[in-house]
Amino acid sequence: MRYRLLAADLDGTLVTDDKRITDRTKRAVNALTDRGGILVLASGRPTHGVWHVARDLGLDRKGGYILSYNGGELLDCVTGRVLFSVEIPPERIREIVELSRKHRTAILSYEGDDIITESGSDPYVAGEARNVRMNIKEVPDLISHITFPIVKLMMVGSEEQIRNLEPVVAKALGAEFSVFRSEAYHLEILPAGIDKGSGLKRTLEYLNIPEAAAIACGDYDNDIPMLKAAGLGVAMANGCPEIRKCADYITRSNEEDGVAAVIETFMLNDKEDI
């Protein structure tokens, strides 16, 4: 195979709009791993929120990786071992949480298989909990509660609210943080330099695979660095205009087995070059 590794976003990419993995996608992934290809599930979700997808695809048995938190953590699906992980500086957590309070925006992070937040009844927090299949744990004070390493914090709100907040939060936090929208309603806050592109590069280095042998598939702004870090950057037909503009190739939508089509065309085809 010319392309040995596929890094695929989940929401809007690998899974359908109702969060299913189609039979065609399962067959394509199974054929890929049978031939020694590697699938990396690259998501903004926490690791726990990706595990059920990995199991559904058999990656816990046949091998594969979870690149979670928008590139902040890499996990081996077979061993369960975390291969690398970043951490928000503990001394900056107060500042970030107080920013969310100032702008009256819900903020959350993750603890084990729970979402932790001060805003347990917020509809956008509830939406994230449904999406990642995690419970909501409401705490009275997020600042004092977080006494353990966290990879990211995320503000959630309406599309307009998050769009307006992005430059404000980025300016307030400065160069030590990456601040970006991963969905219309999500504003991610991670240590500087962390995104799916940097995460994919570290993954390829760990696996000793050249960038030219990797494909990346995505649908949203936060997937753009990953597409640029791969030998072949693929946007979904349902992707935002920005990602379609920078892609090397545009596949079908997530409702039309777009990722399966990429695997079949570029990774299961016996030709060396396509």
For residue 274, the model assigns a pLDDT of 35
Residues 186 and 199 placed together within one structural domain of the fold: no
Give the CA distances from residue 103 to residues 98, 100, 169, 196, 213, in Å, rounded to whole numbers and listed in that order. Answer: 9, 5, 10, 27, 44
Mean pLDDT of 36-56: 96
For residue 156, the model assigns a pLDDT of 98
| Pairing, β 232-236 against β 249-251 | parallel
How far is the C-alpha of 136 from the C-alpha of 124, rounded, in Å? 12
Specify if 216 maps to a domain: yes
Residues 17 and 94 placed together within one structural domain of the fold: no
How far is the C-alpha of 104 from the C-alpha of 173, rounded, in Å? 17
For residue 2, the model assigns a pLDDT of 86
Residues 104 and 186 placed together within one structural domain of the fold: yes
Residues 155 and 109 placed together within one structural domain of the fold: yes
Residue 261 scores a pLDDT above 70? yes
Question: pLDDT for 173-188, tens place per residue?
Answer: 999 999 999 889 999 9
Residue 271 scores a pLDDT above 70? no
Residues 246 and 172 placed together within one structural domain of the fold: no
Specify if 272 maps to a domain: no
> Mean pLDDT across the chain, nearest whole number?
96
Domain count, the chain: 2
Coil vs helix vs strand at 83: strand
Residue 23 scores a pLDDT above 50? yes
Coil vs helix vs strand at 123: helix
Specify if 274 maps to a domain: no
For residue 183, the model assigns a pLDDT of 87
Residue 162 scores a pLDDT above 70? yes
Q: What is the residue range of 148's domain?
A: 90-191
For residue 270, the model assigns a pLDDT of 54
Specify if 219 maps to a domain: yes
Specify if 70 maps to a domain: yes
**Which CATH number does the domain housing residue 10 bear?**
3.40.50.1000
Specify if 58 maps to a domain: yes
Cα angle 199, 50, 116 (rounded to 5 degrees) comes to: 95
Rounded to 10°, the helix 123-132/48-56 angle is 30
Q: Which of 191, 222, 239 is the last residue of a domain?
A: 191
Residues 120 and 254 placed together within one structural domain of the fold: no
